[in-house]
Structure 1
Amino acid sequence: MANPGVDVQFMPGEGPARSVSVSFTTGTYEAIRKRVGKRGVSKFVEEATVRALSRELLSELIDVIEAEAGPFDQQEVAEKAAILRGGTARAAGAA
């Protein structure tokens, strides 16, 4: 049971479900429904929103780090990205 007056905060993708109303263009809604069916729309929107928020938070973190330590070395970034995609750092350097 929640304590009255205590503001509990959840990270994106966590916490109890909450019913809200959102509006989409007809084309967007139909594309989502075609992909996931009538009963999958909420889950699809939740997951897409969590991904978008995660990307925004990561971008903000990168900005803070670069402000403190200077820009990232783009060659090193390419090498690490290649590893994350299942390649090798050597393959990134050859590109």
Structure 2
Amino acid sequence: MTHQIVLPAQIDRGTAASLAPEIAHALSAGGLELDGREVRRAGQCALQMLLSARKTAGEWGVALLIRPSESLRDAARLAGLEDRLFEEAVA
């Protein structure tokens, strides 16, 4: 079963910290889709959270799809993480 989590418009340190347990729980239950199409501001913490989710999904052998907004994609591109974050992972 694939779970979906809609990411907020702004992801700061506090938001990322509060989302982390929810993301981990969803990954432990199976595939996950992170809907980031409404994200307008995403800092380093957001990228670290997404990278951690990607790594965890790979280690656990579950699918993770991250649907980014242009702002989220731009932030990832500037950090050199666009290809690592937004490729569709297949379990």
Structure number with greater CO (CA < 8 Å, separation at least 6) is 2
Could you say which structure has the larger radius of gyration?
A: 1
Pick the structure with more strand per residue.
Answer: 2
Pick the structure with more helix per residue.
Answer: 1
TM-score of the superposition, structure 2-length normalised?
A: 0.27
TM-score of the superposition, structure 1-length normalised?
A: 0.26
